[in-house]
Structure 1
Amino acid sequence: MKEKKDSTFRAHKKLDVWKEAIVLAADIYKVTDDFPKSELYGITSQMRRAAVSVGSNIAEGAARSGKKEFTQFLNVAGGSLSELDTQLEISFKLGYVSNDKRKTLDTKIGNVAQMLAGLIKWAKKSRE
């Protein structure tokens, strides 16, 4: 199959925010490995799905042809990031995550959120 020269396929791999979201998702998988087995279908699953959703929505948005659609998917990614932030706090309150690990992940979540906000701002401005 001949590849298009101007294709948006895999364009997401050039985005720093996508790269950071992937690292964050991997970190969440590692942290949740230590959660109680009784949480496998509870908060463990929720956190993993939210973390994976961030990078996945960035990728899906980057593959779309218009900035408006791209922005919509970035907003969904931001929503998933907020879910993850909440779930991390709950996990800390339940004693599943140490304070040090929570701070580290909180910083990473904040960095991804800041990068997402910047990309959303750029996408909105470039639509005008």
Structure 2
Amino acid sequence: MKSFEELTVWKRSCRMTVELYKSLRSCNDCGLKGQMTRAAVSIPSNIAEGAERRTHKEFINFLAIAKGSAAELRTQIYIASEVGIMTREDCRKFTEELKEISRMLQGLIASLSS
């Protein structure tokens, strides 16, 4: 790997984050919106930071943090849907993408661990 920008999981998590920001543009609930955007930004940011570390062990740690942020965001999306901040369709779309990102992160963790 030459750089984190080449990682498909980083690209997908960046695109998902941009889409989330767009979908929350008109949201007036600053608390939940802020939590969601921070969790979303955390995913590609931790992938990038980990990739720039010296060892696979450090990279794996940051990938695990990114995976945790994906789970956190899935929870927040569920709550946002239940309270009417996000449509059920957006909830489904983001949840499916986050599950796939989590699978990709787990696969990368497994490949770095072996």
Same fold (TM over 0.5): yes
Shorter chain as denominator, the TM-score bin is over 0.9
Percent of aligned positions that are identical: 36
2:51 maps to 1:62: yes
Amino acid of the structure 1 residue aligned with 2:12: E
Partners of 1:34 and 1:111 in 2: how far apart?
A: 27
Kindly state the Cα deviation for residue 27 of structure 1 after the two structures are TM-superposed: 1.1
SS at match of 1:96: coil
* Structure 2 residue corresponding to 1:93, chosen from 71, 82, 103: 82
Partners of 1:32 and 1:98 in 2: how far apart?
A: 11
Amino acid of the structure 2 residue aligned with 1:14: E
Query: Match for residue 12 of structure 2?
Result: 20
Kindly state the Cα deviation for residue 100 of structure 1 after the two structures are TM-superposed: 1.0
User: Deviations for 1:68-94, whole angstroms, at most 9, x for unmatched residues?
Assistant: 000000000011111100000000000
Amino acid of the structure 1 residue aligned with 2:113: K
Kindly state the Cα deviation for residue 34 of structure 1 after the two structures are TM-superposed: 2.5
Partners of 1:59 and 1:123 in 2: how far apart?
A: 15
Query: Match for residue 120 of structure 1?
Result: 109
Q: Which of these two proteins has the greater Rg computed from alpha carbons? A: 1
Kindly state the Cα deviation for residue 115 of structure 1 after the two structures are TM-superposed: 0.5
Q: Which runs of 5+ in 2 are unaligned?
A: none
Kindly state the Cα deviation for residue 99 of structure 1 after the two structures are TM-superposed: 1.1
Partners of 2:90 and 2:40 in 1: how far apart?
A: 16
Kindly state the Cα deviation for residue 32 of structure 1 after the two structures are TM-superposed: 1.3
Greater than 4 Å deviation, 4+ residue runs: none
Kindly state the Cα deviation for residue 62 of structure 1 after the two structures are TM-superposed: 0.4
Kindly state the Cα deviation for residue 104 of structure 1 after the two structures are TM-superposed: 0.8
RMSD: 0.9
Equivalent pairs counted in the alignment come to 113
Amino acid of the structure 2 residue aligned with 1:61: G
Kindly state the Cα deviation for residue 28 of structure 1 after the two structures are TM-superposed: 1.1
* Structure 1 residue corresponding to 2:66, chosen from 77, 81, 84: 77
